[in-house]
Amino acid sequence: MKTQNALHESKNLPIYQHKATLQQAVKDNSFLVVTGETGSGKTTQLPQYLHQNIKLTRKLYTLYYSLRIGITQPRRVAAITVAQRVSQEMHCSLGREVGYQVRFDDCTTQDTVVKYMTDGCLLREILADPVLSQYSVVILDEAHERSLNTDILLGLLKQTLSSPDKASKGRSVPLKVVVMSATLETDKLSVFLGGCPVFTIPGRTFPVTSKFSCAIGPKDTESSVYVKEVVKVALDVHTSEMAGDILVFLTGQSEIEKACDMLYEKAESIDYRYDVQDHKVEGLLILPLYGSMPTDQQKQIFQPPPPGIRKCVVATNIAATSLTINGVKYIVDSGFVKQLNHNSRVGMDILEVVPISKSEALQRAGRAGRTSAGKCFRIYSPAFWEKCMPEYTVPEIQRTSLTAVILTLKCLGVHDCSEKPVRGKVTRLGELMVEFPLPPGLTRALLQAASLGCEDLLLPVAAMLSVENIFIRPGHPEKQKEADKKHRQLGVQAGSCNDFTMLLSVFEKCKASDAPSAWCKDNYIHWRALKSAFSVETQLREILLRLQKKRDFPMEKFNGNKSELFRRCLCTGYFTNVARRSVGKVFCTMDGHGSMVHIHPSSTLFDQEAQLDWVIFHDLLVTSRIYIRTVCPIRYDWVKDLLPKLHEVDVYELSSVAREEVTDEEVAKWVTKEAAKRQTGGSAEDVF
Ligand code: CDP
Ligand code: MG
């Protein structure tokens, strides 16, 4: 029944009337740009049309038939949910004719002909097979998002197809590339691709009225403020507006969970006889939607709510273009997004909450006008719009570190990958590193451990850092206390003195437990996250085993203390993330920026700062302060040779950030302390 509905719906989508034209256009062109309003059917339908086309013309295109159609998505959730939907429409079980592949999760078989995947996965495939010989058509979806990997793929595919020699090498039939985008900047795209045709799917949109509020001004970036405000506005909409679903845009998992908790609580006390204006509305169905949610829960958001019930989806930016939720009439826009940015205050890439761009705000509002006129409630003021929101979102390639991508490109033999030619060849180590779908620092630490024969310490840590947060922190204050206590206990039991060993210990304890899911529940640990960590660890181990079999896999000897081994391996990878304690609980990063950072309260080392001197950390979180997360104490002499620049850092030099946050008195004290320390050559504790 559901499948029939889906099929019926798909014939009503705007793209349906253009099926034949699109099929022909792909046949006739190497590159094609396809654009159309969000929800017109590009992602779910076009791959099916191309697949059918190949089937129908099988006689002529026998060779194509055995090849795949690959569709990339910048977000893993989109790849998974869309593949699910399309497998339903094509009456096959997921993983057979229609499948998906995202990092650490490959749901494809030899039968898979329509393959949805993240752009990162296709980039890895290109590494192994530059002409993508398995594919007849590659569709780069959501190109307007300008994700780093999609941009790189665009460049690489353009280069490959523009040289006929390269393009046909190892291929039986020419590759076709379709680039899909929401209605933005398609002309630029076409010019970039040598003036290829642009196919626009005409769509109808309905007017959306937008209303600003004064709740969020230019200075209100605390999550507690905007979470509270979106909840209030969503409830106002629910009680005062006529039927129609609500879509709330928030920043990330924890904010979404908080908002949903608050909504559940408040929605319970609504008296539908008196409080709600539209008496046909008799309940509120609250559904979260974020990247790392279990997929069976994600499915729910696409289903229509029961009669009389209003659906309220609280989502990240994923609902802006990647996924279309039918029936939405009201938007509540927080005005913020969680984005990976190169933060010049700290000189590193940080996932941070920033105001969205004006074009993004318009895209969000547009989600309310797909099937009828809608309303968008912005919780921010016109001043916020003017002063804080840029016109357009800066493409990821211009705002994040390119380390991993440049390594990939160089391994592919692309050496002119930046305006400044990148000198140097990839070392053997670099070639090994590129095999791991992990951040370079973590990969380096893992390879170091492997070369010293202690990969069992690092593999679980790398896996744990590759899945969603494993620690549960309930919203209820009492439960929160209990969870914190349990987590502390886990740390103590492990005898762990840092957050990396804590991760290792949780992994090992859970794995050794007879009833792992109960163990997790008891210790406030996400069982689902741990399950993924187990699977990720196995996959990383497989990659490592494959590399270790090679003759020239590096092996080293370690002469130091055994208990140092683990931390020294970490230092090899994280030498760029070093901080030294300066005043009280304040640490100073040693990357040349000298930013003032604090240990995040979730760390096992929180509140023990006084006993620490040098530390390394996995990542940073910027709110009103800069926090370092997943921290490990180290010794200066372990990193000093890895980062010669460290010597040049003048620890007295306080950055502008420091001046903002540390009082003059504290600075004076610190300087005296530092001077004394230099004189005596001892540690801070020796002096004070
Ligand atoms: O890619 P584009 O934005 O043009 O549209 P689409 O993602 O192909 O969506 C077409 C229709 O399929 C929309 O009405 C979606 O709501 C629906 N859809 C769905 O019901 N379930 C999914 N998992 C994905 C899409
Ligand atoms: Mg789409």
- For residue 4, how far is its CA from the centre of ligand 2 (angstroms)? 21
Residue 476's pLDDT is: 80
Q: What's the mean pLDDT in 289-306?
A: 86
Q: What's the mean pLDDT in 648-653?
A: 44
Q: What percent of the chain has pLDDT over 70?
A: 88
Residue 673's pLDDT is: 54
Residue 390 confidence class, pLDDT cut points 50, 70, 90:
very high
Does the pTM surpass 0.80? The reply is yes
- For residue 86, how far is its CA from the centre of ligand 1 (angstroms)? 9
| Whole-angstrom distance, CA of residue 71 vs CA of residue 29 | 17
Q: What's the mean pLDDT in 259-277?
A: 93
78 Cβ contact list (under 8 Å, min separation 6): 43, 142, 318, 322, 323
pLDDT digits (tens, 9 = 90+) for 145-157: 999 999 999 999 9
Which residues on neighbouring strands pair with residue 180, listed in sequence order? 34
Nearest to 264 by CA among 234, 220, 293, 292: 234
| Whole-angstrom distance, CA of residue 486 vs CA of residue 450 | 32
Q: Does the structure show a pLDDT above 60 at 664?
A: no
Work out which ligand 1 atom sits closest to the CA atom of 180.
1
Q: What percent of the chain has pLDDT over 90?
A: 62
Residue 65 confidence class, pLDDT cut points 50, 70, 90:
low
| Ligand with minimal distance to 366 CA | 1
Q: Does the structure show a pLDDT above 60 at 658?
A: no
Question: Using an 8 Å Cβ cutoff, are 615 and 624 in contact?
Answer: no
Residue 469's pLDDT is: 87
- For residue 368, how far is its CA from the centre of ligand 1 (angstroms)? 15
Work out which ligand 1 atom sits closest to the CA atom of 299.
23
| Ligand with minimal distance to 77 CA | 1
Q: What's the mean pLDDT in 39-55?
A: 91
Residue 421's pLDDT is: 64
Q: Does the structure show a pLDDT above 60 at 548?
A: yes
| Ligand with minimal distance to 72 CA | 2
Q: Does the structure show a pLDDT above 90 at 205?
A: no
Mutation choice for ligand 1 from 5, 324, 363, 367, CB with most ligand atoms inside 8 A = 324
Residue 524 confidence class, pLDDT cut points 50, 70, 90:
very high
Q: Does the structure show a pLDDT above 70 at 604?
A: yes
Residue 655 confidence class, pLDDT cut points 50, 70, 90:
very low
* Residue whose CA lies nearest to ligand 1 atom number 18: 324
* Residue whose CA lies nearest to ligand 1 atom number 15: 324
Residue 650's pLDDT is: 45
| Ligand with minimal distance to 323 CA | 1
Residue 163's pLDDT is: 81
| Ligand with minimal distance to 34 CA | 1
Q: CA 11 from chain center: how many Å?
A: 33
- For residue 542, how far is its CA from the centre of ligand 2 (angstroms)? 34
Q: Does the structure show a pLDDT above 90 at 124?
A: yes
* Residue whose CA lies nearest to ligand 1 atom number 13: 39
| Whole-angstrom distance, CA of residue 229 vs CA of residue 222 | 11
Residue 645's pLDDT is: 56
Give this complex's ipTM: 0.99
549 vs 418, which has greater pLDDT? Answer: 549
Work out which ligand 1 atom sits closest to the CA atom of 321.
3
**Orientation of helix 562-574 relative to helix 499-512, angle to 10°:** 110
Work out which ligand 1 atom sits closest to the CA atom of 201.
4
Residue 348's pLDDT is: 77
SS3 551: coil
| Ligand with minimal distance to 42 CA | 1
Which residues on neighbouring strands pair with residue 220, listed in sequence order? none
Residue 16's pLDDT is: 95
| Whole-angstrom distance, CA of residue 178 vs CA of residue 34 | 7
Q: Which of 487-491, 502-506, 534-538, 610-614 has the lowest mean pLDDT?
A: 487-491
Average pLDDT of the chain is 87
| Whole-angstrom distance, CA of residue 373 vs CA of residue 365 | 11
Nearest to 74 by CA among 127, 156, 140: 140
pLDDT digits (tens, 9 = 90+) for 419-455: 666 777 889 999 999 999 999 999 999 999 999 999 9
Q: CA 632 from chain center: how many Å?
A: 24
193 Cβ contact list (under 8 Å, min separation 6): 31, 33, 154, 158, 179
Q: Which two tokens stand for residue 168?
A: 């046909």
* Residue whose CA lies nearest to ligand 1 atom number 7: 43
Question: Using an 8 Å Cβ cutoff, are 253 and 285 in contact?
Answer: no
Q: Does the structure show a pLDDT above 70 at 649?
A: no
Which residues on neighbouring strands pair with residue 374, listed in sequence order? 208
Amino acid sitting at position 251: T
| Whole-angstrom distance, CA of residue 351 vs CA of residue 348 | 10
Kindly report the number of other CB atoms within 10 A of residue 30's CB atom: 17
Residue 494's pLDDT is: 65
Amino acid sitting at position 188: K
| Whole-angstrom distance, CA of residue 48 vs CA of residue 56 | 12
* Residue whose CA lies nearest to ligand 1 atom number 10: 41
Mutation choice for ligand 1 from 17, 44, 94, 301, CB with most ligand atoms inside 8 A = 44
Work out which ligand 1 atom sits closest to the CA atom of 36.
4
- For residue 10, how far is its CA from the centre of ligand 2 (angstroms)? 14
pLDDT digits (tens, 9 = 90+) for 104-117: 999 999 999 999 99
Question: Using an 8 Å Cβ cutoff, are 148 and 396 in contact?
Answer: yes
Work out which ligand 1 atom sits closest to the CA atom of 84.
23
* Residue whose CA lies nearest to ligand 1 atom number 6: 41
Residue 416's pLDDT is: 74
pLDDT digits (tens, 9 = 90+) for 67-95: 899 999 999 999 999 999 999 999 999 99
- For residue 49, how far is its CA from the centre of ligand 1 (angstroms)? 15
Question: Using an 8 Å Cβ cutoff, are 597 and 588 in contact?
Answer: yes
Residue 420's pLDDT is: 63
Interior/surface letters 511-535, b for 16+ CB within 10 angstroms, e for the rest: eeeeebeebbeebbbbbbbbebbbe
Residue 7 confidence class, pLDDT cut points 50, 70, 90:
low
Ligand 1 pocket at CB < 6 A: 13, 36, 38-45, 81-82, 85, 302, 324, 326
Q: Which of 128-137, 439-448, 656-665 has the lowest mean pLDDT?
A: 656-665
Residue 657's pLDDT is: 35
- For residue 115, how far is its CA from the centre of ligand 2 (angstroms)? 15
Determine the Cα angle at 351 with ends 585 and 609, to 5°. 15
Residue 149's pLDDT is: 96
Q: What's the mean pLDDT in 478-496?
A: 83
- CA distances in angstroms from 641 to 593, 647, 649, listed in the order given: 19, 9, 14
